[in-house]
Amino acid sequence: MDTARAQQYACEMNGSTPKFLDRNSPPHLATLILLSGVSALSMNVFLPSLPNMAEYFDTDYRLMQLSVSVYLGFSALLQLAIGPLSDRYGRRNILLVSLVIFCIASFGTLVAPNAATFLVFRMLQAAVATSMALSRAIVRDMVDEDKAASMIAYVTLGMSIVPMIGPIIGGALDEVFGWKASFALLAVLGVMVTWLTWADLGETMDRKETSFREQMRDYPELLTSPRFWGFVLCTAFASGVFFAYLGGAPFIGTVLYDLSASELGMYFGTTGLGYGLGNYLSGRYSTRMGVIRMIVLGNLAMAGGIALQALCVATGWGGAAGFFVPFLLVGVGNGLVLPNSNAGMLSVRPQLAGTAAGLGGAIMIGGGAALSALSGAWLTEETGAWPLLVIMGASLLGSFLAILLVIRRNRQLGL
């Protein structure tokens, strides 16, 4: 299966064929990719600039690390609301409001006079995380579970290019123009994607004129499902490996290995490369192998990557490359797990796909914010990289246990 085939799945939605820049049809696959891509770029493009940002605002480096955790924390809170709201008012309306907020906040980061004001605007930038959650719900509006896993994989394959090149671009912009250049880039891209969403993304949800009270009656069915929580926790713990890395790796690269901003950006690119490969494999094989097998294979790949990292840190082999390059394998595992666990999560109660995407995204990103902050707080020159490796290993164990819960429940139900 290729990208064209994934796009063809969208044609199944109400018999309507996606037409580019037509607001009366489902969105083109490229629009969903760009929506998720801007959200991913906002998360990591500035990471190589953290030391220079701390120097600019004359504050402690650990305070500027909060630009990661406050973003993730507010994203989690926001997604608790946007899921049910999108089920009620539609995906398109919620996305457009969120993107406008992101654009305003991005411009705000450029004029912030101090670190506290900057962090407020940085928190508001998290509104763009709506696009990552709702792009998955939009896909699930269109197609069934296994096909959704494949199409989500292609959407996140495009998104995975961003973590690969984002820090490289951010590091280069920092060295040439200063740290503000990364946030100027986000502001410009935010305006462009807002226009694209307005012009191309037709409503995909069959909106029903029901009250919130009537809508809430369906929630216990979702919230009491062991399969739903198994998929949610699998998603949260698997992505927690990445978020912990996101919070701790800049410190390790800058302080322990004395890397420049551009060098750190290059090493971060290995993560996106692996994630892109994993998503490609998910897009190609999820329909054939099913979501459960793909998730198990992804967890095994992540276990191999973390074990190799630990070996390199213990022996000192490879220096900075020995620490960063094995995360390529972890990225592959993430790319295998996340499209499939998300598709499973959204398929438990398809009529509540927005709510499921929002709640699942909130738990995923909220847990990520906690792990990101924890890894940043525990790492010191004396501890080396070990606290980060322990956190990533524990999070991966949680992902294994969660998918075992789903497997057990599927057997009970004869699925």
- Cα–Cα distances in angstroms (integers) from residue 285 to residues 114, 337, 358, 403, in the given order: 49, 12, 26, 19
Amino acid found at 354: G
Domains of the chain, earliest start first: 23-204+215-413 (1.20.1250.20)
Look at residue 386 in the predicted model and tell me its pLDDT: 94
Which residues of the chain fall short of a pLDDT of 70? 1-20, 22, 24, 143-146, 148-149, 156-161, 163-164, 206-219
The pTM of the full predicted model, rounded to 2 decimals, is 0.72
Are 70 and 43 in contact by the 8 Å Cβ rule? The answer is no
| DSSP, res 27 | P
Look at residue 15 in the predicted model and tell me its pLDDT: 44
**CA 262 from centre of chain:** 23
Task: Check residue 414 and give left, alpha or beta (phi > 0: left; psi -120 to 50: alpha).
Answer: left
Look at residue 267 in the predicted model and tell me its pLDDT: 85
Look at residue 67 in the predicted model and tell me its pLDDT: 82
On the CB side of 98, CA atoms within 13 Å amount to: 30
Look at residue 254 in the predicted model and tell me its pLDDT: 85
Euclidean distance between CA atoms 259 and 103, whole angstroms: 31
Extract the runs of DSSP E, i.e. beta strands, from 11-128.
Answer: none
Euclidean distance between CA atoms 336 and 277, whole angstroms: 9
Look at residue 297 in the predicted model and tell me its pLDDT: 96
Assigned token pair, 39:
């959200």
Euclidean distance between CA atoms 179 and 195, whole angstroms: 26
Look at residue 207 in the predicted model and tell me its pLDDT: 58
Look at residue 214 in the predicted model and tell me its pLDDT: 59
